[in-house]
Amino acid sequence: MQKILLLMLAGGLGSLSRYTLAGTVQRLAGSSFPIGTFVVNCLGCFLFGLIWSVLEDRIGISPDVRVIVLTGFMGAFTTFSTFIFETANLVSASQWFLAATNCAGQLVIGIAVLWIGLHLGKLV
């Protein structure tokens, strides 16, 4: 139960961090380009790599703490970082086809099902 509560707390903090940072960057940029989301996704990828490396290689923490930090906080901050990390693992394992499939599939299918959801939502 403690792990679940810590996961929820970390997720809440990640979500609030994303909301605050993306909104602040977007407001300061004053652009129609979604620069706030862009910055959050890039920062999230950097932080995911940094945190993974430090936690795995230097500190050697428990799997529970890793889940709380990476799935809880980082997952709520940006799922994009997990997508990139998993794709990078495929590339590192020379699984080029799977890496390309993951990238193209999530982008193309994601846009397609969003479009379908938007149109279905208008019918309901």
For the chain, what are the domain ranges? 2-77
pLDDT-derived band at 65, boundaries 50, 70, 90: confident
Residues 35, 97: contact at Cβ < 8 Å?
Answer: no
Q: For the chain, how many helices (H) and strands (E)?
A: 6, 0
- With a pLDDT cut of 70, the percent of the chain lying above it is 100
pTM tops 0.85, yes or no = no
Alpha-carbon distances, residue 109 vs 9, 41, 112, 115 (angstroms): 31, 19, 5, 10
